Structure 1
Amino acid sequence: MKKLLTFVYCLGISAISFAQNDYFFPKKQLNSAIPTPEQFFGYGIGSHHTRHDKLVEYMRELDRVSDRVTVQKIGETNEHREQIIVTISTPDNIKRLEEIRKEHLTITDPSKPMPDTKKAPAIIWLGYNVHGNEPSGGEASILTAYYLTATEDPEALGWLKDAVILMEPVINPDGRDRHTHWANMHKGDPMVADANDREHNEVWPGGRTNHYWFDLNRDWYLAVNVESRNRLAFYHQWLPNVVTDFHEMGTNASHFFEPTKENAENPLVPKYVYKELNGRFAKYFEQAMNEIGSLYYTKESFDNFYPGYGSSYPDLEGGLGLLFEQASSRGHVQESQNGDLTFGFTVRNQLVNALATVRASLVEKENLLKHQRNFFSETIAQGQKFATKAYIIGDANDQSRNRAFWDLLLQHNIEFYHLAGDVTENGSTFKKGKAVVIPSAQQQFLMVRSIFDRPTTFADSLFYDASAWNLALAYGLPHAELKGAFQKGEHITKTDLKPTPTPFTKSNYAYLIEWTDYYAPKALNQLLDNQILTKTSFKKFGIGGKEYGYGTLLVSVQKQKITSDELYQKLKQISQNTGVTIEPVSTGFSTSGIDLGSNSFQTVKKPQAMMLVGGGVTSSEAGEVWHLLDTKIGMPITKVEVYNFARLNINRYNTIVLVGGNYAVLDKPAIQKLKAWVANGGTLITLKTGTEWAIKQEIVKEKLREIKPDSSRNKARINYEDLQASEGAKQTGGAIFEAELDITSPIGFGFTGKKLAIYRNNNTILELSTGAANSVLVYTQNPRITGYVHQESLKRIANSAAINISYEGNGRAILFSDDPNFRGTWFGTNKLFLNALFFGSNISSGGQFGAEEE
């Protein structure tokens, strides 16, 4: 029996505590031996923002004083904040959690007997605060945990008997604390409701995102960030029946609960989820909100289309995902069109819907359990009947990228296998050991479909987020559909993810590293960090019976600052660190193409990179660059506040990155300073609207493909209420397109095929450059592969430039119309960015340097 009291809790509940409980839990029977949040924190919920560490302390205190609660650490964030799961149920259920978990998983396996749905508990996952500056959910988690621990209400006690409640109080601890600190440090006494007050206007990048400025609510499917990976590992141990996702929205809104917008449902999810389960649960949310007199709405906005939200991912795992959106006070109290909106009010709305979710889940328990069994039975049956019996995928030239994709599949518990032998399909040969086969007939068939599907027709033209998410294309891996019987090799597990670089012997002449390997840039960065002279090949060549492509790295033994033995040891260490294979050669004489002493091998300069961040800059794109270089390359990049640019000595940098943004803070002298830096030999890399800005400021001479105004006087009239939908449909919210790459350009080094899939979610469109070889990547005539795009936008995208190189004096600008690093998952295109970073200074308007003289 856990210790129930400390002396302070015996002192009773203060008058304010009574007021707190009257506000949040009117007429509820609560055990006074359980510390209220106010007794523990020293302030009432809603009067102050609770730091993440204090929230965790309170959950652990509930664990200490009550047999209903247990707290489990599932990981840590980048900033070393704990990720926890709070499990709440009856003491008997808590004692046999592992038994319950294993029994519950039999529901998801149609080959095993179905448990008794009357006796089996429902598994309810309450998830909060995925966006750090949407804090009402995190505060509501405190109150929800308190109530379920302290309740003596007969109905709630029945909930605990028939359910295991898994609570993730804060999905994004780093972002939450960023916002918590901001709100508390600017809180006035008396509080200031004026929306112009600093409390309600966070500085860049705000608290919405995690440490690397990623939106974790898009990451369930992509599994890029550590928070998501920790969660998914735990999630798949339980496969809950119901999952909540508590958010906030604009201050002038009210409260939203599902169902979402019509025609905005994921087509792979059974209609029963949307038409039946969502409708049934909505009645409980309606009742809960009516009882406290809060306004709400449904059906008008948001969607379940993209599978990577916290409210949509569970729908593909046999559960029911539920989205809640609460108008935000963005501080402690703020003016709104509905009157002053207090933090406590927002918390209460989230609280009552969390409890309504538990209530609904228990009423619908048998339906939920039967749905989960039917879901997996039908999913496996669909896979068995599906015309594509399996998918085969893998790149013979890049095992590192293959392993990254395998890791993604394992995150989603997808079953897949090595090839039993080489397979040729649709003219492509997939090599054993370098490709895998993914059967359709499996529990995760719908997730497999999501990864490979290419939809082009849609019931709606407005999307809250992406309309395409084919991860096979994102990883840039060759793949094919197998329509007939296939053979499976060994089952792939986590042990297959460990890099196994080929051991190599010492050379007294030179070493080669193929640039096709995804982690070759990481190896190059370590070579340059160790001051090892490294060159890259601008032409193909063959040596030692092997052919090498553009970008191959050459490390000669001569001219190094260290001995040949020291060089060999360093290279062995780099190979182990990166998984990259290093090949020794004993001669510089090629069997085809250039020799190793050719001027077509150019010395690579170490990038000294700087990126502008801060007000006006798109934080997500800046975060993607930062995350890529930190986690994939191990290379630092200096992040400079855009406001500090004018007084910064930029001559210490040879590369400057401008991601999307307006850069309005840079005045004419600052623009001239940047322009002069480029002309003096610098490399400027721009993305999306950063590219637009550079063109409009005449830093470069390229042109945008502008929208031609419709001058027709007979343009059809539309109703005012349809205007937003009409204009919104013209936006490219997120689709995948085909482009053709010049693989002989340093920007194209390491790519073996000319056709490339690109993700686009903007309308920045570049005209082809006037320079014959300056448009390195160009959209094809019929570029759309998958996703929604308006026909007018599609016409403008066709045959436009995706990457232009603009030469200015002794320098150059490398202009991307898109984001090659999108959400940290576009392994197929982020090498384009890395090539610009590492090889930018080697690019000149006359082609390769060092042409021979006769």
Structure 2
Amino acid sequence: MKKLLRFLWVAGLLLCQLTYAQQSYFFPNAGPLNPAIPTPEQFLGYPIGTHMTRYDKIVEYFRELDRLSDRVSVEVIGQTYEHRPLIMASFTAPTNYARLENIRQANLSRATQPGNDEMPLVIQIGANVHGNEPSGGESTMLTAYYLTASESEETKKWLNDMVVFVEPILNPDGRDRFANWANMHKGSPFVADPLDREHNEIWPGGRMNHYWFDPNRDWFLCAHPEAQAHVQWFHRWMPYVVVDHHEMGTNATFYFDPGKASSNNPLVPAYLYDTIYPTFGEHFAKAMNNLGSLYFTKETFDKLYPGYGSSYTNFYGGAGFLFEQASARGFTQETTTIPITFAFTVRNQLTAALTTIRASLAEKNNLLRMRRDFFKTALDQARKSPVKGYVFGDPQDLTRAYSFINLLRRHQIEVHELDREVTAGGKTFRKGEAYVVPTEQRNYIMVRSAFEKQIPYSDSLFYDASTWSLVHSFNMPYAELMAGTGRNAQTNLPLGKAITQPLMVNVAPVSRSPYAYLVDVTDYNAYKALYALQSGGAIVKTAFKPFTARTGGQERAYGYGTLIVPVQQQLLSPDSLYRLVSAVGKQAGIAVQSLESGYSVKGVDIGSNNVRTLRKPEALMLVGPGVSAYEAGEIWHLLDQRVGMPVTKLDLSALLRANLNRYTTLIMVSGQYPTDKPTADKVKNWVQNGGTLVTFKTGSEWAIKQGLTKEKLLPVDTTKRSLRYNYDEATNWEGAKAQGGSIFTVDLDNTHPIGFGFTDRTVPVFRNGLTILQPSQSPYNTVAQYKASPLVGGYVHPTVLKRVANSAAILVSGEGAGRIILFADNPNFRAAWYGTNKLFLNALFFGPVITVPSLEGEEEKN
């Protein structure tokens, strides 16, 4: 017993010494700390920096602080795909909790009204939006501990005069994926060799969310539950400062704003960039100088895109701050100087977070001024703008139109019903079918971001996409409303009832038909309905020619691709079929029409050879090392979440062993695919035997280079030039030729199955790659072609633009009994391109029934 007591005494002493060492390292000048509040080390049972903390343990720690202290309150603001709660913790003085709703209301009102300056300032700290950038997330536990336990006068003033929100992990699913990897491969002692497995995650890594999306690009697009929760919470509280903790390459140092001046967003008033960022930069520099940590600013990281966690608030009069810490990608890793440790990276992030709190209170008056000036400036800009509103709508696709409106409303953009018929921009918009966004509204800066196709830039290098116009990504028919001159010009806008609640498609019940049911494929949810019908056992056909039929007692025109479900020639009874189509119509929110006769008023009849039976798709997608996880994830998400269709994800390394016979479609997104003959032959033979291969970007290049198709890439200009530039200009000159992301227009053959459901031949597409396809020698195989002057918005180098003009955007090549559908671009970019999702879905559902026309006399020529 004495030995056991002695052991426990020694162990306790060592733990106290270790805890003291940790506090001395992370909080060297903390002052008095409440001993009743456990440090993260005491709660977790290991020192910070020696183990990667799982998300559930982080949540437990925050909830323990909430239980122990009246300074802390934790709430759940959302849930991830993998059912992890998204928590937000608030830290403020107990007296403030008694008036928290008053503080929130005052915080919102003082943005545009005088007064309430004495009310507490609201700021937010967030971290780990990229799951494999863990130091920021780990540091939030230390930040929370300090705000809860510190008894210093400075901390008490912070809590009295501020409400500090901390969202410890913005991407819990990715965080746990990485934490498990790092802990699983951790050595004892730590292995610093960069080649060690610990520092090299397997594909797809922990950066992304469940569907392999980058959640730091989603604040503007709100495609996923994490960003939806973040944005909803943001508008509930409107913090003045939002901090986003990240990591970067191991051999870097530490980055904090201000960023690259030439990449500031020109729509945001300059006070943020000219005053707030430099002033806060001085605070950050002082703190890092005291630590002796190296850092840099002003060289990179743009503020253009409104969808970053560190930039979204800038479009609402707040200051977003980005911290980028060199990463150990584990627990310790060699660098060009000395090894970098996880604990060191956590300390830098902690220092930056506490400095943000300190600086925010010190600069409170400047922050209040910035927001008031922001909204005043925005309204002044709106009143001076010749564009007084945007009218838009697509009555043939309410799913897409309502999704667009609901996204605008997530960003607190004011939207109204159209109150009268309007003709603008060569289009006619009718009451009950269209909507209006007035420009003279509080969130005018975000309105411009959502609708403008071209933002004026002062740089040609972009960290990300150079344009993000939502109205184009939805392929939404729209026009600018140019009202009369004068301050009250906007009163002439055709503004009807304001949209205040999310819109949902309501469809009439399906009338029973003795002959057939019809579904128009112009609606985005036609594919959801199609797959549900096929899964329910229905045989579905599609019309390769338009026709006019009598449905619902009146004549109605049906376009290319219309889905036809005959009542006879089914394995289901008429009663079962009726129940199925009724349930599917309601579930998909899509109208199902009852056909009275197979004899069409105009065009082909229902029994025509131009009406073909569709096979239920069985899709296989290649994934794994070398394949673009982003593009693969976009397809996975599209089919899972919007179509309700499973997709088999096959690791590339298993392709040669796999039996492909059950699959109708093989998908190859961008990637570096094997160039060995067995791989090419495997895919080629499967296509020749009737398979449909769908390729994106460099996947299309692979298919061409491996000889799977006769289609060709556009040759690169190899003309030698004897130009000479300075060495330090190389990044600028060569980087400008990259295609970061711009919007172009193509001419789409909407009589082709890939173009089914499109009512306009001109379609905007997103391009962020350099795959350029030659138009086919066959006049029928170039389904979509870039226009002669294709650029809609964004930056593109003149040499790239010249090559893209008139090139092919989509080719369909017949190969044996199968076909290859080659996309030059990615039609599913970031789950935001509703307008081009249909191109991919058409390839998936209609591709297997495409017959590629052969040229007259082609065999003789060959």
TM over 0.5: yes
Corresponding residue for residue 114 of structure 1: 114
Matched letter for residue 202 of structure 1: E
User: Displacement, 1:465?
Assistant: 0.3
Matched letter for residue 767 of structure 2: R
Which SS does the other structure have where 1:656 is aligned? strand
Corresponding residue for residue 17 of structure 2: 15
8 Å CA contact 2:128, 2:168 repeated in 1: yes
Matches within 5 A, 1:492-511: 492-495=499-502, 497-511=503-517
Supply the distance in 2 between the matched residues of 1:803 and 1:339 (Cα, whole angstroms): 51
Matches within 5 A, 1:444-593: 444-455=443-454, 457-484=456-483, 485-495=492-502, 497-544=503-550, 545-593=555-603
Matched letter for residue 77 of structure 2: I
Matched letter for residue 145 of structure 1: A
User: Displacement, 1:434?
Assistant: 2.2
Corresponding residue for residue 615 of structure 2: 605
Supply the distance in 1 between the matched residues of 2:309 and 2:353 (Cα, whole angstroms): 15
Supply the distance in 1 between the matched residues of 2:509 and 2:444 (Cα, whole angstroms): 38
Which SS does the other structure have where 1:782 is aligned? strand
8 Å CA contact 1:69, 1:94 repeated in 2: no
Which SS does the other structure have where 1:819 is aligned? coil
User: Displacement, 1:212?
Assistant: 0.3
8 Å CA contact 1:421, 1:432 repeated in 2: yes
Supply the distance in 1 between the matched residues of 2:498 and 2:854 (Cα, whole angstroms): 48
Corresponding residue for residue 760 of structure 2: 753
Corresponding residue for residue 351 of structure 1: 350
Matched letter for residue 133 of structure 1: N
8 Å CA contact 1:396, 1:431 repeated in 2: no
Corresponding residue for residue 829 of structure 2: 822
- Does residue 812 in structure 1 map to residue 814 in structure 2? no
- Does residue 736 in structure 1 map to residue 743 in structure 2? yes
Corresponding residue for residue 622 of structure 1: 632
Supply the distance in 2 between the matched residues of 1:831 and 1:432 (Cα, whole angstroms): 27
Of 707, 720, 727, the residue aligned with 1:698 is 707
- Does residue 78 in structure 1 map to residue 84 in structure 2? no
Corresponding residue for residue 141 of structure 1: 140
Matched letter for residue 681 of structure 1: G
Structure 1: runs of 5 or more not aligned: 1-7, 849-854
User: Displacement, 1:429?
Assistant: 1.2
Which whole-Å deviations, capped at 9, do the CAs of 1:386-421 have from their partners, x for residues lacking one? 211110111121111001101101110111111112
Corresponding residue for residue 205 of structure 1: 204
Matches within 5 A, 1:636-655: 636-655=646-665
Corresponding residue for residue 240 of structure 1: 239
User: Displacement, 1:426?
Assistant: 2.3
8 Å CA contact 1:76, 1:227 repeated in 2: yes
Supply the distance in 2 between the matched residues of 1:709 and 1:90 (Cα, whole angstroms): 68
Please give the TM-score of this superposition, normalised by the length of structure 1.
0.96
User: Displacement, 1:94?
Assistant: 2.2
**497-506 vs 69-78, which deviates more?**
497-506
Supply the distance in 2 between the matched residues of 1:586 and 1:84 (Cα, whole angstroms): 55
Corresponding residue for residue 5 of structure 2: none
Supply the distance in 1 between the matched residues of 2:430 and 2:626 (Cα, whole angstroms): 47
Matched letter for residue 560 of structure 1: Q
Which SS does the other structure have where 1:652 is aligned? coil
Matched letter for residue 600 of structure 2: S
Which SS does the other structure have where 2:510 is aligned? coil
8 Å CA contact 1:126, 1:354 repeated in 2: yes
User: Displacement, 1:383?
Assistant: 1.9
**563-572 vs 234-243, which deviates more?**
563-572
Supply the distance in 1 between the matched residues of 2:572 and 2:852 (Cα, whole angstroms): 35
- Does residue 788 in structure 1 map to residue 795 in structure 2? yes
**753-762 vs 498-507, which deviates more?**
498-507
Matched letter for residue 71 of structure 2: R
Corresponding residue for residue 178 of structure 1: 177
Of 21, 24, 27, the residue aligned with 1:25 is 27
Change (3 A) 1:839 1:847: farther
Corresponding residue for residue 716 of structure 2: 707
Corresponding residue for residue 161 of structure 1: 160
Which whole-Å deviations, capped at 9, do the CAs of 1:435-486 have from their partners, x for residues lacking one? 1100111111111100111226521110000101011000000000111121
Which SS does the other structure have where 2:471 is aligned? helix
Structure 2: runs of 5 or more not aligned: 1-8, 484-491, 856-862
Supply the distance in 2 between the matched residues of 1:650 and 1:625 (Cα, whole angstroms): 19
User: Displacement, 1:267?
Assistant: 0.6
Matched letter for residue 232 of structure 2: A
8 Å CA contact 1:244, 1:322 repeated in 2: yes
Corresponding residue for residue 843 of structure 1: 850
Which whole-Å deviations, capped at 9, do the CAs of 1:748-800 have from their partners, x for residues lacking one? 00000000101000101001111211010000000101000000000000000
8 Å CA contact 1:739, 1:802 repeated in 2: yes
RMSD (CA atoms) = 1.4
8 Å CA contact 2:106, 2:116 repeated in 1: no
User: Displacement, 1:499?
Assistant: 1.6
Supply the distance in 2 between the matched residues of 1:510 and 1:239 (Cα, whole angstroms): 53
User: Displacement, 1:14?
Assistant: 1.1
Corresponding residue for residue 45 of structure 2: 42
Supply the distance in 2 between the matched residues of 1:435 and 1:181 (Cα, whole angstroms): 50
Runs of 4+ in 1 over 4 A off after TM superposition: none
Supply the distance in 2 between the matched residues of 1:175 and 1:710 (Cα, whole angstroms): 46
Supply the distance in 1 between the matched residues of 2:97 and 2:54 (Cα, whole angstroms): 28
Which whole-Å deviations, capped at 9, do the CAs of 1:483-531 have from their partners, x for residues lacking one? 1121211111225x22201223111011111010010010000111012
Supply the distance in 1 between the matched residues of 2:814 and 2:610 (Cα, whole angstroms): 20
User: Displacement, 1:591?
Assistant: 1.5
User: Displacement, 1:847?
Assistant: 8.1
Which SS does the other structure have where 2:219 is aligned? helix
Matched letter for residue 638 of structure 1: T
Matches within 5 A, 1:395-410: 395-410=394-409
- Does residue 87 in structure 1 map to residue 94 in structure 2? no
Matches within 5 A, 1:221-370: 221-370=220-369
Percent of aligned positions with the same letter in both sequences? 51
User: Displacement, 1:254?
Assistant: 0.3
Supply the distance in 1 between the matched residues of 2:456 and 2:96 (Cα, whole angstroms): 47
Supply the distance in 2 between the matched residues of 1:282 and 1:326 (Cα, whole angstroms): 15
Supply the distance in 1 between the matched residues of 2:775 and 2:425 (Cα, whole angstroms): 33
Corresponding residue for residue 487 of structure 2: none
Supply the distance in 2 between the matched residues of 1:602 and 1:772 (Cα, whole angstroms): 23
Matched letter for residue 291 of structure 1: N
Supply the distance in 1 between the matched residues of 2:854 and 2:60 (Cα, whole angstroms): 62
Which whole-Å deviations, capped at 9, do the CAs of 1:802-840 have from their partners, x for residues lacking one? 000111100001000000000000000010000000001
8 Å CA contact 1:476, 1:756 repeated in 2: yes
Matched letter for residue 787 of structure 1: G
8 Å CA contact 1:702, 1:769 repeated in 2: yes
Supply the distance in 1 between the matched residues of 2:853 and 2:825 (Cα, whole angstroms): 26
Corresponding residue for residue 194 of structure 1: 193
Which SS does the other structure have where 1:650 is aligned? coil
Supply the distance in 2 between the matched residues of 1:731 and 1:458 (Cα, whole angstroms): 16
Of 657, 664, 675, the residue aligned with 2:667 is 657
8 Å CA contact 1:402, 1:434 repeated in 2: no
Matched letter for residue 548 of structure 2: G
Supply the distance in 1 between the matched residues of 2:102 and 2:277 (Cα, whole angstroms): 30
Of 719, 732, 754, the residue aligned with 2:726 is 719
Of 662, 676, 679, the residue aligned with 1:667 is 676
Corresponding residue for residue 5 of structure 1: none
